[in-house]
Amino acid sequence: MDYLALQETEPIRRDDDLGVWIVTGFEQVRKLLRNPALSSAWPENGTTHLHDQQESRDGVRRTSDIVRRWFMFNDAPRHQRLRGLIAPLFSTSRLAELQPFVEESVDQLLHGVAGQIDVMLDLAVPLASRVVCRQIGLPPEVAPRIAAWASEIDALLVADYLPEVVERGTRALEEIEQAVATARAGSEVPAGSALEILSHAFGTGLIEELDIAATASLLIFAGFDTTSTFIGKAVRALMHTEQWSAAASERITSLVEELLRFDTSVQQVARIAVEPVEIEGHRIERGELVLMMLGVANRDTDAFTNSDVLDPGRQSSRHLAFGYGAHYCLGAGLARMEVSAALNGLVKRFSHAELAEPPVLRPHNGVTVLEHLRLSIRN
């Protein structure tokens, strides 16, 4: 989908081809993300015409039970209970403890690199994978498998009307479940890790056992996919706007916020109406799917001056890159830390960088993957 082409459309409109509502205005998205009549549990019942057509042929249902257990796809009170359990993993004190590991990982990944670097394969993917394993409590040898798992789950969330996508996505989720079971059966689950927290919650009856693997798969998908993608997008944006030096440490905080706004990693989120919603002369009926286009909203000219310009000095963090309201991304602080460390690591070592070739994009069942971002670099 050409998301930015949606800038020319009405901020709220119904797409009759898909049978969904599309919302692109910044204020409209903010308002709807806080509307209790819009549920996050869209994988349970939300469908498009593509799903309706496939179900009429093959009886295919949406996603899998393990995905429907993700707290991001649940409403209160289950959402708060599961989110609250793992919130300590992303507290200020926890992130401060994790920061040396993130920075050391960047140093290790960039050590000895000269002449050329593939930002995705050499930095973004392995960095995000290592951090995810550390947070969850999975052994380091699991890290190389995470990118493939996340790719198949990503496709599952977008194109689960296709049987082959469901098959591959389900297989990835099953492999994660097996990796989690193996880690829990090991001699020692790392203290303070997600697996320790979740195992204790299961032992005290707060959650069901399947919630352990479900929450781990959510952390793998969300923690890896959005962060690795954003590191690549951030570097690509700096290349295209010729602002490599803007990633100097003294300006990194405002730059990261502007990069998040400029090229949002998560382009859209979905909600399903559990009650009719009236907004700006439109009526969203119960059971209708609503797509909130975060990336387009972050380029709304009514909300941001010169919205299509990457301005490292822009003093605004009110973007929607991490969502809004009760489902605001729990890992936002960690994502900021990883991106800042990656950009600082690159700019510290390499005073000059330019594209060695155009970025390589790979379509994957409705998802566009930034597969390679090769730079020519010099100290």
What would the pLDDT profile of 85-135 be if each residue is shown by its tens digit? 999 999 999 999 999 999 999 999 999 999 999 999 999 999 999 999 999
d(CA 347, CA 361): 24
Q: What's the confidence (pLDDT) of residue 286?
A: 93
Token digits of residue 229: 């993608």
Q: Is residue 46's pLDDT more than 70?
A: no
Q: Which residues pair with 368 in a beta bridge?
A: 363
Give the model's confidence band at 62: pLDDT under 50 very low, under 70 low, under 90 confident, else very high: low
pLDDT at 8: 65
pTM of the model: 0.91
pLDDT of amino acid 63: 60
Question: Which residue would you say has higher pLDDT here, 188 or 12?
Answer: 12
Mean pLDDT for the stretch of residues 41-57: 58
Distance of CA 256 to the CA centre of its chain: 16
Helix (H), strand (E) at residue 295? helix 294-297
Lowest-confidence segment of 117-121, 156-160, 351-355 by average pLDDT:
156-160
Q: Which tokens sit at 204?
A: 């005290």
Sequence spans of domains, the chain: 3-378
CATH topology of domain 3-378: Cytochrome p450 (1.10.630)
* Each residue's pLDDT tens digit, 159-180: 877 889 889 999 999 999 999 9
* CA atoms of 323 and 344, how far apart (whole Å): 25
